[in-house]
Structure 1
């Protein structure tokens, strides 16, 4: 003869949690206050009912004219103003500057007339190709560049669209040659 017993849990999820810190400083959580010898130090946390529904949303009633549109004397939202046009130039190096670096490393610093917006970034163009990742600082460190004459410019983008460009400058990199 087989005897089966059905035990129904009293709650699907416990609404009370017990927490304590052991002698090693590790934080423990349990649904039973006697799960540890540190039960006397256990703190009780009561969780909100997970099955409760959110309250219904409420909407502000705006006074309307007979046509159903908000009244003319109500405050209208001002459209967000675009920032002033961005202009870019080079802080360093200067146009036609000779740079002496045996490692081929040198720094680029942009100068702009205003701070960049959140959705704007700068891209360095070195010899008409993108160099490095776009950034918002306007500073780049070029590494192991071959000696010779190079062109550099900076472009600014907002949401993927070109919004400003610097003039193109030329620099001359001198590196010691090994014979």
Structure 2
């Protein structure tokens, strides 16, 4: 009777281990295992460890079988980062009228900026402070002709730059009045 019981136990354990198993990670990062496939899961091949039979003699210590650790799921991929930049406005050879000397730059990148990415303007070869926005304002720019481009930075290093545009800034000025009593030339 004891042999039949051992045979029945062995047959059940083999049939339970012959199935297909699946693993997946949910949106909270929790690892799940199942024998029914959910969407976007990875089929696992389970390797069962063998337990050696004890020797035919008295033994005082029983050693438990140590199961093999499940494989560690792949780390989630980092989102793709912006890799190109363009200056949408002002256009090339645009005339800007601003008595305060402000020039607003509208910028576009192929993908949203990553956490280590920023943009900066370069006006007449002078680098301006970096920003995370899609719009930059250059303040108190002198009147005249200026060359502007924008750069995409990652960890402070330039990874892309836009084409350069030439803009003409017009600022109203107040003419100096001549001192009274002096004749004006004709």
- TM-score (ref. length: structure 2): 0.51
Q: How far 1:108 moved relative to its partner? A: 1.2
Q: 1:145 to 1:172 in 2, by over 3 A?
A: same
Counterpart selection for 1:170 from 166, 169, 176: 166
Q: Deviations over 1:124-163 (max 9, x none)?
A: 11111112x2111032222221111001111111122221
Q: How do 1:134-149 residues align onto structure 2 when only pairs under 5 Å count?
A: 134-149=130-145
1:98 counterpart SS class: strand
- Measured in 2, the distance between the counterparts of 1:95 and 1:137 equals 22
Q: Distance in 2 between matches of 1:155 and 1:77?
A: 34
Structure 2 unaligned regions, length at least 5: 1-46, 50-67, 176-186
Quote the residue 1:122 is aligned against: 119
* Alignment pair present for 1:77 and 2:74: yes
The answer for the alignment partner of 1:111 in structure 2 is 108
Specify the alignment match of 1:14 in structure 2.
none
Cα RMSD for the two superposed structures = 2.7
Runs of 4+ aligned residues of structure 1 deviating over 6 Å after TM superposition are none
- Offset at residue 113 of structure 1 (A): 1.5
Distance in 2 between the 1:148 and 1:175 partners?
A: 9
Q: TM-score, normalised by structure 1?
A: 0.53
2:130 partner SS: strand
Aligned-pair distance for 1:111? 1.2
Partner SS state of residue 135, structure 1: coil
Higher helix share: 2
Q: Secondary structure of the residue that 2:92 maps to in structure 1?
A: coil
Matched, 1:97 2:94: yes
For the pair shown, the structure with the greater C-alpha radius of gyration is 2
Contact 2:82 2:109 in 1 (8 A): no
- Please give the alpha-carbon distance, in whole angstroms, between the structure 1 residues aligned to 2:143 and 2:104: 15
